[in-house]
């Protein structure tokens, strides 16, 4: 793993998108190499095991997207509300495919997911920086590394369409162009030095919650 670049949180000389990427590089690698992800990509998990992860996303994305609704009129948080990113409708289709028509009665959050959702509700509904921290952690990952899961579902389990729609971002259009636009928003928002530090800290917290969810699923 490459050593993280030195970043300057306080002065703002480093683009904030770079600050976030480099500050979270190590925890991102930990998530990628978690036991659950190793087993998933190693072919040791079946479709039911993946379905349990999709079920956790149902609870997590409901909370994030409800926070987005609360942030819609916020002068800062509202910039990061993208309806084309919403995952809850796709998750509903996927979970019906994976669990059947009564899927709502068959899924449940693991303890780490409950803690994660509670954290989102405590920081992302009335603090724009908290919303951005959790939004960035999940959606930017889905647009990048999440596509490897989509490929795995198609090649290993024959699931392409319902069951894997969570990873389909057709509404976004060009993903590289969208990521460039998102990074420009991060860099162009006039965060104070203290706010940059708070957001980085909360982004690290969000990654830790994601790792905890994966650990619960692996257990």
- Cα–chain-centroid distance for residue 190? 24
Under 8 Å CB-to-CB from 49, ≥6 apart: which residues? 39, 40, 217
pTM for the model: 0.92
Contacts of 98 (CB under 8 A, 6+ apart): 47, 48, 50, 51, 54, 163
Instruction: Tally Cβ neighbours within 10 Å of residue 77.
Output: 24
Q: Is the distance from CB of 8 to CB of 14 less than 8 angstroms?
A: yes
Element (H, E) at 165: none
Region of residue 14 (left: phi > 0; alpha: psi -120 to 50; beta: else): beta
Query: Which pLDDT score, from 0 to 100, does residue 147 have?
Result: 87
Query: Cα separation of 89 and 83, whole Å?
Result: 11
The 10s digit of each residue's pLDDT in 31-70 is: 888 999 999 999 899 999 999 999 999 999 999 999 999 9
Which H or E element spans position 107?
Answer: none
Greater pLDDT, 91 or 142? 91
Q: Is 136 helix (H, G, I), strand (E, B) or coil?
A: helix
Cα distance between residue 101 and residue 106, in whole Å = 10
> What CATH number has the domain spanning 16-218?
1.20.910.10
Average pLDDT, the chain: 92
At 5, is the pLDDT very low, low, confident or very high (cuts 50, 70, 90)? Answer: very low
d(CA 193, CA 129): 12
Find out whether 214 and 32 touch, Cβ atoms under 8 Å. Answer: no
Cβ of 119: how many Cβ atoms within 10 Å?
18
Token pair recorded at residue 29: 């690698």
pLDDT for residue 9: 52
Contact 219, 35 (CB under 8 A): no
Residue with tokens 């495919």: 97
The residue ranges of every structural domain in the chain are 16-218
For 146-195, the pLDDT digits (tens) are 888 999 999 999 999 999 999 999 899 899 999 999 999 999 999 999 99
**Backbone angles phi and psi of 58, in degrees to 5:** -55, -45
Position 21 scores a pLDDT of 93
Tell me which H or E stretch contains 194. Answer: helix 193-218
């Amino acid at each position: 793993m490459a050593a993280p670049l030195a970043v300057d949180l306080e002065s703002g000389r480093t683009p904030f998108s770079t600050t976030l990427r480099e500050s979270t590089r190590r925890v991102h690698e930990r998530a990628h190499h978690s036991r659950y992800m190793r087993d998933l990509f190693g072919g040791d998990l079946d479709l039911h095991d993946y379905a349990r992860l999709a079920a956790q996303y149902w609870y997590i994305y409901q909370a994030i997207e409800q926070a987005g609704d609360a942030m819609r009129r916020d002068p800062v948080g509202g910039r990061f509300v993208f309806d084309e990113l919403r995952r809850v409708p796709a998750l509903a289709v996927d979970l019906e495919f994976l669990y059947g028509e009564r899927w709502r009665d068959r899924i449940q959050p693991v303890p780490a997911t409950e803690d994660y959702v509670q954290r989102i509700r405590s920081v992302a509904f009335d603090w724009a920086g908290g919303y951005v921290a959790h939004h960035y952690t999940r959606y930017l990952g889905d647009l990048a590394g999440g596509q490897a899961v989509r490929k795995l579902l198609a090649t290993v389990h024959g699931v392409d369409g319902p069951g894997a729609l969570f990873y389909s971002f057709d509404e976004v259009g060009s993903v590289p162009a969208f990521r460039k636009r998102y990074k420009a928003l991060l860099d162009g928002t006039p965060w104070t030095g203290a706010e940059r530090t708070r957001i980085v800290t909360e982004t690290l917290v969000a990654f830790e919650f994601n790792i905890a969810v994966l650990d619960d699923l692996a257990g």
